Amino acid sequence: MKEEDRADYEELFIQFSKQVERVLFRFLFVLFVLLLCCQALLQIPYVSMHFTKVAPLEGIPYMEKEQAFPGRR
């Protein structure tokens, strides 16, 4: 009787783990698609300007050369 109980338990565990794996893979797939969509949206200058703080600062020097290294040329 113990062998039958063990076999039933193993079969139930296998079914449960397959369902959990399926849900996890779907969840990860949805997250991946969302990541791709967000990255695609950030390629649009108008969108990236409003959603990131760094994008408007690109190409603007943080300090002028003389301020960063006083006395050097």
Can you give the pLDDT at residue 20?
Answer: 97
Query: Which pTM was predicted?
Result: 0.62
Contacts of residue 52, defined as CB under 8 A and 6 or more positions apart, other chains included, come to: 42
Per residue in 21-70, pLDDT tens? 999 999 999 999 999 999 999 999 888 888 888 866 777 666 665 665 66
Tokens 């050369």 correspond to 65
Give Cα separations from 50 to 21, 34, 37, 63 (angstroms).
37, 19, 16, 24
